[in-house]
Amino acid sequence: MDKRLEATVTTAFDPIDLAGIRLRNRIAMAPMTRSRAYGPGLSPTASTAAYYAQRASAGLIVTEGIQPSPGGQGYPDTPGLHSAEQVAAWRKVTGAVHAAGGRIFAQLMHTGRIGHPSLLPDGLYPVGPSAVPAQGSVYTANGPKPFVVPHELNEDDIWQTVEDHAAAARNAMAAGFDGVEVHGANGYLVHQFLAPNSNIRVDHWGGDDRRRTRFAVEVVRAVAAAIGPERTGLRISPGKALGDIDEPDPAPTYRALLRDLEPVGPAYLHLVESPDRELTRELRDRFGGVFVLNPRVEGGHAGPEQLSLVEDGTADVLSYGALFLANPDLPLRLRRGGPYNSPERATYYGGDDRGYTDYPALPADEPRTDATTTPSTATAISATEVTA
């Protein structure tokens, strides 16, 4: 390669402008459920602040899924952003991240039909676009419980849920977050509206590709109106079968989604990749903002080999899950070519600080490898990525 051309290649270690926010690099921490909201009213703790601050060298941190309303909870001990005490607790987390030089977005996650009545307060019940239960079970305080038939949201319910997301976005800004990511992936409520097997409505919220995208568009629009499109992102996972989702032909739905989001102009799109790399490239070409990719890796998770996806233009930013969980200083390790801590699956969800804040960082005086180490010479670990 001509040295003059080589010098202009963008790498994952270069900064990027995210709608006016400067990210120090193009390596993001993906949202990962940790089920450790042990503070009052399902609020984060001092350990949560330490956990995220340890990982502040990421260009962008996206938090674990945060329920925008009490009825949006689907797992034990997940945090919310719908009360004053939660806002106050999150302010300590964002303050710690900012003091360490990081940027952090709150992911708003309404789980919809994924959950159980025993996880919800005051007689609330899981909801969905249609009264279609997911197959499988969810973990509760009393062990695994089968998913129930969700309450089908009516028109008033839908608009209240949209407003709940906007209110939680305003709370996120009051708590000091740099922005908000709407969780439209992995089988949760927004994804349930997008998918034809969980949304069997025949009104203007379902029935064809365009109408099934409406709820996602309205949520993103409401969040953008509340805090600004430059502070709004959306995560999607076309074709992902999590949460008993079945999207046999996702491309038309997601083309319609991006077309209807164009007037809104969210700052970024965060794609959990399917096996269809061509769809990834198409969505990347269709989206006008920053394109964040959580790349699919056959039989594993994203590692150093995927850094080339920034260099070849497939993505603007790469998000890492399990590798970031176990390596708080992941950007440095990726630049140096390792070594990498291995994540402990037994400590992913719940528990104390073990497997949470005790993964070691590299010593400050550790000898450097060549900073231009290529992904093919770096060592990857073998683990399954935890996603929310």
User: Among all residues, which ones are annotated catalytic?
Assistant: 188
Cα 139 to Cα 82, 125, 169, 229: the distances in Å are 23, 16, 28, 35
**18 bridge partner residues:** 21
From the list 341, 345, 336, the residue with the least C-alpha distance to 326 is 341
What are the structure tokens assigned to 75, written together? 């797992």
Place of tokens 């319910």: 157
d(CA 97, CA 94): 5
Tokens, residue 131:
């009264």
Residue 291 has φ and ψ, to the nearest 5°, of -105, 110
Contacts of residue 199, defined as CB under 8 A and 6 or more positions apart, other chains included, come to 129, 130, 192, 193, 205, 206, 212
Closest CA to 172 of 54, 91, 99, 58: 91
The three-state (H, E, C) secondary structure of 237-269, written as one string: CCCCCHHHCCCCCCHHHHHHHHHHHCCCCCCEE
- Sign of the alpha-carbon torsion through 18, 280, 324, 241: positive
DSSP string over 158-184: HHHHHHHHHHHHHHHHHTT-SEEEEEE
Taking Cα atoms as reference points, which of 316, 322, 317 lies closest to residue 297?
322
Assigned token pair, 235: 């995560």
Pairing mode of beta strands 137-140, 143-146: antiparallel
8 Å CB contact between 271 and 237: yes
The beta strand positions in the chain, using DSSP E, are: 16-18, 21-23, 27-29, 60-66, 104-108, 127-128, 137-140, 143-146, 151-152, 179-184, 232-236, 268-272, 290-294, 317-320
